[in-house]
């Protein structure tokens, strides 16, 4: 099987520039997953590249899982500050000229802010905070960090909620760098934020969670655990937060602060009902036995107190 990072022939630059119609369909095959790195913006602009991961539905299962789980790692290794955006596609039509046109139109709707708008927004935010009591500010902080989620990740969660998708959805907190753009001739700014993105979506048995969830990076995993208990089948959805000891300090702080927000977004926007929240250091700690113990703890039956017999009586 092909190494997923083996390079293919580069495309001519004139095919990739933003002002020309872009279509990648001639370079795609129905059963082969690809990483595609495009320099879609002039090289003197901040972050001129975009990263496309193409994983067709008819690709081999192992290949689909491998590409879906490593695509963000590839971007990080190459330098996240070089990439304007990442795209995950499963159909050729999404990477056609019409598909890119729709994508660009959707992106343009999320209008960045001008320098003046950013400054004014900061002033208004600080004034509002001063106007509220300290108690409300503490309440806001204690509720966790609110974090946006991509449409792709939300779609996977909705599939999980409706039992029409995969049974394991993994999310990552993906940082975006502060970028200065030009829109309609005006200088604009994208405020630096972190966002929740889809790391992978797959169907795995409970015994394979330890090898499917990343053992090197933190993950938010939503897992539908279908099993039999008390003579009947049940399929609760679990939220599993894993944070390996080798994770970067910034990652550990971000994931710890945002875990509550991840659950709230899944419940409010995807219709997921989380039955149990599980935290673990490494995926190896998440076993079928430990999950069953959390879901169905054994009830200890206490024996009634027996009064000791009086001496001399039988």
> What's the pLDDT at 61?
82
Query: If you average pLDDT over every residue of the chain, what do you get?
Result: 76
pLDDT at residue 72 tops 80: no
Mean pLDDT, rounded, for 76-102: 85
pLDDT in tens, 6-47: 556 555 544 444 445 578 888 898 889 999 888 888 877 778
Mean pLDDT lowest among 19-28, 56-65, 111-120, 142-151:
111-120
pLDDT in tens, 178-210: 444 444 555 444 444 568 889 899 999 999 999
What string of H, E and C letters represents the secondary structure of the chain?
Answer: CCCCCCCCCCCCHHHCCCCCCCCCHHHCCCCCCEEEEEECCCCCCCCCEEEEEECCCCCCHHHHHHHHHHHHHHHHHHCHHHEEEEEEECCHHHHCHHHHHHHHHHHHHCCCEEHHHHHHHHHHHHHHHHHCCHHHHHHHHHCCCCCCECHHHHHHHHHHHCCCCCCEEEEEEEECCCEEEEECCEEEEECCCEEEEEEEEECCCHHHHHHHCCCCCCEEEEEECCEEECCEEECCEEEEEECCCCCCHHHHHHHHHHHHHHHHHHHHHHCCCEEEEEEECCHHHCCHHHHHHHHCCCCCCCCCCCCCCCCCCC
Q: Distances from the Cα of 244 to the Cαs of 214, 216, 283, 293, 294, in angstroms?
A: 9, 6, 8, 22, 20
> What's the pLDDT at 288?
93
- Of the two residues 131 and 299, the one the predictor is more confident about is 299
> What's the pLDDT at 290?
92
Best-predicted range by mean pLDDT (7-11, 113-117, 136-140, 176-180): 7-11
> What's the pLDDT at 16?
44
- In percent, the amount of the chain with pLDDT more than 90 equals 25
> What's the pLDDT at 85?
82
pLDDT in tens, 213-269: 998 889 999 999 999 988 899 999 999 999 988 888 878 888 888 888 899 999 999
> What's the pLDDT at 313?
58
> What's the pLDDT at 251?
82
- Of the two residues 19 and 313, the one the predictor is more confident about is 313
Nearest to 93 by CA among 19, 28, 152, 11: 28
> What's the pLDDT at 246?
84
pLDDT in tens, 168-177: 999 998 654 4
Domains in the chain: ranges and CATH:
1-110 (3.40.20.10), 143-297 (3.40.20.10)
pLDDT at residue 281 tops 80: yes
pLDDT band at 113 (very low <50, low <70, confident <90, very high): low
pTM of the model: 0.53
> What's the pLDDT at 212?
93
């Amino acid at each position: 099987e092909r190494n997923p990072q083996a390079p293919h022939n580069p495309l001519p630059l004139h095919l990739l520039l933003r002002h020309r119609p872009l279509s990648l369909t001639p370079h795609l095959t129905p059963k082969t997953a690809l990483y595609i790195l495009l320099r879609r913006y002039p090289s003197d602009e901040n972050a001129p590249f975009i990263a496309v991961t193409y994983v067709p539905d008819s690709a081999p299962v192992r290949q689909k899982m491998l590409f879906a789980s490593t695509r963000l790692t590839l971007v990080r290794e190459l330098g996240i500050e070089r990439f304007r955006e990442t795209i995950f596609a499963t159909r050729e039509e999404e990477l056609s000229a019409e598909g890119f046109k729709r994508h660009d139109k959707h992106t343009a709707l999320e209008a960045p802010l001008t320098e003046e708008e950013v400054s004014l927004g900061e002033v208004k935010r600080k004034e509002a905070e001063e106007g509220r009591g300290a108690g409300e500010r503490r309440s806001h902080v204690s509720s966790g960090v609110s974090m946006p989620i991509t449409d792709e990740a939300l779609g996977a969660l909705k599939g999980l909620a409706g039992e029409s998708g995969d049974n394991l959805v993994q999310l990552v907190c993906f940082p975006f760098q502060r970028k200065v753009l030009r829109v309609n001739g005006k200088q604009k700014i994208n405020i630096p934020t972190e966002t929740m993105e889809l790391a992978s979506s797959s169907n795995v048995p409970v015994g394979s969670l330890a090898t499917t969830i990343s053992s090197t990076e933190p993950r938010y995993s939503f897992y539908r655990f279908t099993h039999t208990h008390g003579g009947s089948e049940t399929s609760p959805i679990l939220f599993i937060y894993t944070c390996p000891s080798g994770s970067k300090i910034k990652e550990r702080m971000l994931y710890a602060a945002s875990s509550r927000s991840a659950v709230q977004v899944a419940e409010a926007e995807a219709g997921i009902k989380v039955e149990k929240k599980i935290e673990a250091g490494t995926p190896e700690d998440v076993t079928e036995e430990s999950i069953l113990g959390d879901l169905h703890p054994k009830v200890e039956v206490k024996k009634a107190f027996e009064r000791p017999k009086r001496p001399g009586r039988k």
